[in-house]
Amino acid sequence: MSILETGRVCIKTAGRESGKVCVVLKTVDENYVLITGPREATKVKRRRCNIQHLEPLEEKIKIKADSSDSEVLREYEKEKIFEKLKIQRLTPQEIKEIKEKKAGKEEKKREKEEKAEKEKPKEKKDEKPKEKKAKKPKHKEKPKKEHKAKKAKPAAKKKPAAKKTKSVKKKGKKK
């Protein structure tokens, strides 16, 4: 039997929730367990966690695998886990803020899904679905040009070369 059985209270040793108290809900496989804080009490979300990132404590509470967060909270209070471990509970204001934040995220997600549904083009029942056109390649292939036979240019008429004359230097008279 593993030390990290259902109901074992642990401290997270790695990740953003390190140093926070959580409880093991069930074993996922040989390396992972499902844990919860619950979030409203210790700010640890229900999630899968590597067993190497947990430090088991002596305390153990009596819960069933996959218990809800409210059931876990009741057992914490019954076993006086908050007092034993000197855990500072969240104030009702902090719990309210967490719940509002979660509700806001869910609302945004729902709005996004509705918007995507509206933007989706609707097909009429009688109308046949449109066939998709084949995608054009990014670069256009240029058609190969056929080479035409070049016409020979008529030979240019040569002018007769000018006769070269000897230039005679004039000798100047000396004074």
Domain ranges of the chain: 8-89
Mean pLDDT value across residues 138-151: 63
Q: Write down the mean pLDDT value for the chain.
A: 78
The pair of three-digit structure tokens given for residue 22, joined into one six-digit string? 């959580």
Q: How confident is the model at residue 33, as a pLDDT?
A: 94
Q: Of the candidates 53, 56, 71, which has an alpha carbon nearest to the alpha carbon of residue 13? A: 53
Q: Of the candidates 51, 70, 52, which has an alpha carbon nearest to the alpha carbon of residue 5? A: 51
Mean pLDDT value across residues 52-74: 90
In the chain the first and final C-alpha atoms are separated, in Å, by 137
pLDDT tens figures, 6-30 = 999 999 999 999 999 999 999 999 9
Helix (H) or strand (E) holding 71: helix 69-79
Is the pLDDT score of 165 beyond 80?
A: no
Question: What CATH number is given for 8-89 in this structure?
Answer: 2.30.30.30
CA–CA dist 24, 129 (Å, integer): 52
CA–CA dist 35, 49 (Å, integer): 7
Q: Is the pTM of this model over 0.75?
A: no
CA–CA dist 36, 171 (Å, integer): 121
Q: How confident is the model at residue 174, as a pLDDT?
A: 57
Q: Of the candidates 14, 70, 26, 21, which has an alpha carbon nearest to the alpha carbon of residue 44? A: 21
CA–CA dist 36, 72 (Å, integer): 9
